[in-house]
Amino acid sequence: MLSKRYQPIMQAFLMSVLMVTIMTAVITALNTGIGNGFMGRWAEAYVVAWPIAFCIILIAGKRVMRLSVALCQRD
């Protein structure tokens, strides 16, 4: 197990892996179909998208959480 201090990084990592896996697979399938070469096209999209998503989550994650709390104050 990792130290608690790594939790924000691990959360960003796991969230970005999940989000990018699903998004790139769906978008690649919609744009090019699921046929010959799908895995290669999907992997190429994944390699480009994952570092971007990871950085965005690390940079904006806390701000987005604060915004969602502010928007959901009413019971």
22-60: pLDDT as tens digits: 999 999 999 999 999 999 999 999 999 999 999 999 999
73 or 23: whose pLDDT is higher? 23
Residue 44 pLDDT: 97
Residue 74 pLDDT: 83
Residue 33 pLDDT: 96
Rounded CA-CA distance 47/53 in Å is 11
Residue 1 pLDDT: 87
0.85 cut: is pTM over it? no
Q: How far apart are the first and last CA of the chain?
A: 37
